[in-house]
Amino acid sequence: MDKDTTLHDVIIVGGGPAGLTAAVYAARKMLKVLLITQNIGGQALYSLDVENYMGYQFISGQDLMDRFEKQVEKYNVKNVFSEVKSVTKENEVFITRSTNGDEYHGKAIIIATGKKSRTLNAKGLDRLIGRGVSYCATCDAPLFMGLDVVVVGGGNSAITAAYELTSIARQVYLVNRGPLKADEIYLEKIRDAPNIKCFIGYELVEVTGEDALDAAALRNLSDDSSVVLPVAGVFIEIGLIPNSDMVKDLVLLNKNDEIVVSYDCSTSLPGVFAAGDVTTVPEKQIIVAAGEGAKAAISAYKYILKEGEHAETSY
């Protein structure tokens, strides 16, 4: 447990594309920067092929994030690994408190905590995570070579996952409560796949298995009948939720729990800035998150300058 009373200029929470970029920009302003994160890389690590980050025709998410990390290491950024559970403002100082008891102080704070997978209430799901239940098709699909799997969801991530699995699994069952809502470009890909069967108007109610998942039970929403599919894997791809809980009592969130930001990444409380997928900025992409991280750092710097308490600067 670390109760550090050093007053940092800026605390950045989150080590994904937004947080890492913010760290470089803030450090280049000679601010005293503390980066608190649970991991380095964030969701970008799940992307096997990034084909839309400028400067690279194509790079894996892991390689891209390694490069981000190396760039941060060139600067004076203090990095601690912990999960921030709350942020408060006390006597003009922002205090972060982590689940392990860590406590840190800053004049300004940038929240860049991204998103995490939405989950379901189906019975047995938590018990079988990592033993057949997965929230990341990109990461875990190769484990299901020649096996039968279920993909739950009807948006872009579910359809992309189902498509990816058609070339790995023997049979892919796509389960969704309502009509598929993915973009046509993705739907086109699965339309002719011979090993996809769709269960539209069904919900996943239970997964079973002792040591590993062996079946998924579905309920037909129109007549309440049930279907049991003998499968080895269930991929939950029903979207993402923002990691904004730690500031829910501090700044304004929208109805989707995203942090409401202005064009300069400021939030409803002066001194709190936010960047990337956790915010109301609509496009959830690495390049957008990185750009927003840069903006948030510059805005935090301007805020600290105005407060007149920053260290000497250079650019």
Ligand X SMILES: Cc1cc2nc3c(=O)[nH]c(=O)nc-3n(C[C@H](O)[C@H](O)[C@H](O)COP(=O)(O)OP(=O)(O)OC[C@H]3O[C@@H](n4cnc5c(N)ncnc54)[C@H](O)[C@@H]3O)c2cc1C
For ligand X, the nearest residue by Cβ is: 114
User: Residue 153, interface with ligand X (CB under 6 A)?
Assistant: no
CB atoms closer than 10 angstroms to residue 287: 14
**Residue 257 or 307 having the CB closest to ligand X:** 257
Instruction: Write the CB contacts of 89 (distance below 8 Å, at least 6 apart in sequence).
Output: 95, 250, 269, 271
In three-state secondary structure terms, 190 is helix
Determine if 272 is a binding residue for ligand X (CB under 6 A): no
Cα–Cα dist 115/237, whole Å: 13
Please identify, using beta-carbon distances, which residue of 138 and 171 lies nearer to ligand X.
138
Q: How many residues bind ligand X (CB under 6 A)?
A: 34
132 sits near ligand X (criterion: CB under 6 A): no
Stretch that binds ligand X, among 39-47, 69-77, 191-199, 301-309 (CB under 6 A): 39-47
The SS3 of residue 163 is: helix
The active-site residue out of 2, 126, 139, 264 is 139
**Radius of gyration of the chain, Cα coordinates, nearest whole angstrom:** 22
Burial, 68: exposed, middle or buried (Cβ in 10 Å; 0-12, 13-18, 19+)?
Answer: buried
| Residue 265 annotated as catalytic | no
Q: How far is the CB of 15 from ligand X (least distance, A)?
A: 4
Active site residue 140: yes
**Contact pattern for ligand X over residues 44 through 63, marking x by CB under 6 A:** x-xx--x-x-----------
**Least distance to ligand X, CB of residue 127, Å:** 24
Whether residue 244 contacts residue 278, with contact meaning beta carbons closer than 8 Å, is answered with: yes
Is-catalytic flag, 9?
A: no
With contact defined as beta carbons under 8 Å apart, do 299 and 264 qualify? yes
Give the total residue count for the chain: 315
Interaction residues for ligand X, span 207-236 (CB under 6 A)? none
Angle in degrees, CA 47, 274, 2, rounded to 5: 90
Name the segment binding ligand X (CB under 6 A); options: 101-109, 179-187, 214-222, 277-285.
Answer: 277-285
The span from the CA of 7 to the CA of 73, in Å, is: 21
CB of 55 to ligand X, least distance (A): 13
- Contact positions with ligand X (CB under 6 A) in 159-218: none
Contact set with ligand X (CB under 6 A): 13-19, 36-39, 42-44, 46-47, 50, 52, 83-84, 112-115, 138, 243, 246, 276-277, 284-287, 289
